[in-house]
Structure 1
Amino acid sequence: MSRGSDALHEPAAVVLRLLRADDLPAVLAIQRSAYGDGYQESAAVLGRKRELAPAACWIAHAGQMAVGYVLAHPWDTLGAPPLHAPLPALPTGADRGFVHDLAVMPAARGLGVAAGLLARVCAWSSAAGHRGMRLVALADAAPFWARQGFSPLPVALPAAYGDGACLMERLR
């Protein structure tokens, strides 16, 4: 894909692999592409999530281009973690996986990137023995997550998640 292009010109096979620390610049670029300036988190915040749960963080490539990522970690039944703040530690006794972020570049939508990343995180969560998965769906993403089997929970969220965001859960 050339700089400034809005679509992948030649679809390439999507390859998923565990996220490494040196992938964070690509993650930040995907994040900006997917969300604009509204939900940018720093490399330090995202990198900390990768450090705490390296087996739950994946990146997707189409050819040589990073096109999507997912960051997840163990969590408990208490609401959602704050945005823009590194997690000091994971909760003890965590019984759920928490999808902190799953983003795909607009040019790669429709290639199965999100489905592949979600499948990897669900496999990780299942192997960890979690009861299910939780996430915060931004207002425009709730229908996508509902199609993936997630249901809204009546929980107030920090204002940083924005109007219309909701906590969602999918139990096993």
Structure 2
Amino acid sequence: MDQAEEVGPLVWRRAAAADLDAIVAIQDQVHTMLPEQRATFANKLMLFGEGCLVLGRDDVVLGYGISYPWRLGDVPPLDTPMTALPERADCLFVHDVAILPAGRGAGAGRRYIGHVSTLARRDRLPSLALVSVYDSRPIWTACGFKMTSAPDMAKKLAVYGSTACYMTASLDL
């Protein structure tokens, strides 16, 4: 069998501590300009594991998605562990979705957004929010996100690079 041949379906599943090395390895390939430490991913997994998924085919991890409750108009600092989630969260923040080329093109990103939308509705959070990087705005727009401005947003986004923009999606509760 050819090594590039796809064997099983792409499936999102809840991430576990055993997946952290794979998550960091994918991040190192996809986010070369925005690296975060393993401990930062472990922290988010501990605080809101329901929003931390890995995308796999058979036993191979091809992507991950990280999200957690947060506040609209606020951008969490990169590579900074959190002591707790905000008490008055009003959105689910999509911190990162990274998929290797072998996992792209099958709607996996859209399925991850569907999962986090369900979590947000369950927790009565009326919005999703994210920072679009690497000119990925058209992808997020196709998933229902819109560019949004907030006080001091340019300053908050500076660390994310020149193409970064803050985007939100409203959910029906």
Does residue 44 (structure 1) correspond to residue 43 (structure 2)? The answer is no
Distance 2:7 2:29 in 1: 19
Does residue 31 (structure 1) correspond to residue 27 (structure 2)? The answer is yes
Counterpart in 1 of 2:132? 137
In the superposition, the TM-score normalised over structure 2's length comes to 0.89
Q: Give the aligned CA root-mean-square deviation in angstroms.
A: 1.6
- Secondary structure, counterpart of 2:72 in structure 1: coil
Identity %: 32
Counterpart in 2 of 1:160? 159
Give CA-to-partner distance per residue, 1:36-81, whole Å, 9 cap, x none: x211111111111111111111111112210111100000124210
Counterpart in 2 of 1:170? 169
Does residue 15 (structure 1) correspond to residue 14 (structure 2)? The answer is no
Counterpart in 1 of 2:74? 79
Pick one of 60, 69, 84 that aligns with 1:65.
60
Give CA-to-partner distance per residue, 1:84-109, whole Å, 9 cap, x none: 11122111110110000011001221
Moved over 6 A (4+): none
Unaligned runs of at least 5 residues, structure 2: none
Alpha-carbon shift at residue 34 of structure 1 (Å)? 2.0
- Secondary structure, counterpart of 1:140 in structure 2: coil
The amino acid across from 2:115 in the alignment is R
The amino acid across from 2:59 in the alignment is Q
- Secondary structure, counterpart of 2:97 in structure 1: strand
Q: Is the 8 A contact 2:113 2:143 kept in 1?
A: no
- Secondary structure, counterpart of 2:89 in structure 1: coil
Pick one of 108, 111, 122 that aligns with 1:113.
108
Q: Is the 8 A contact 1:75 1:98 kept in 2?
A: yes
Q: Is the 8 A contact 1:15 1:62 kept in 2?
A: yes
- Secondary structure, counterpart of 1:92 in structure 2: coil
Pick one of 114, 123, 135 that aligns with 1:128.
123
Distance 2:85 2:73 in 1: 12
